[in-house]
Structure 1
Amino acid sequence: MNHSIYSADRSTHLKIVVMALVAGIMVMGFGISVRTFSDDGSTQTARVIKAGKPVVVTSSDTSMVR
């Protein structure tokens, strides 16, 4: 058994790559499976937020509305 990645042979590197791919596929599968789907068929809509009146704040504790 190789205890260092530097002295590992080709088969050990291949095992590490395969295990990383399997783990990545499992995480991706889990993420897709826990994703929630809405059955109402509606799509997301963007909400428009309109700006209010501008406020100018000075160095004092009072504010002035123009």
Structure 2
Amino acid sequence: MNHSIYSADRMTHLKVVVVALIAGIFVAGVGISARVNSGDGYTQAARVIKAGAPVTTATSNASMVR
């Protein structure tokens, strides 16, 4: 068994590429399945945040910048 990637033959390089491709597909599949099964489904709700009344602080000594 040759432990150097530089002097490895063509079949060894092919095996490394195939194993890396399978691992990449597996990681992508796990990521996609985790995202799809997040519980929210495909529904999106618009959330509206409205501004309230202006608030001033009377007990602070900090200068107010407008």
TM-score per shorter chain, which class? 0.5 to 0.7
Q: Which residue of 2 aligns with 1:43?
A: 44
Q: Which has the larger share of strand?
A: 1
TM-score w.r.t. length of structure 2: 0.61
Structure 1 runs, 4 residues or longer, greater than 4 Å off: 44-48
Consecutive unaligned residues of structure 1, counting only runs of 5 or more, are: 51-61
The one-character-per-residue Cα deviations of 1:8-52 (angstroms, maximum 9, x if unpaired) are: 00000000000000000000011111111523x53365878x8xx
Please, what is the CA RMSD of the aligned residues? 2.9
Give percent identity, aligned residues only. 58
Consecutive unaligned residues of structure 2, counting only runs of 5 or more, are: 52-61
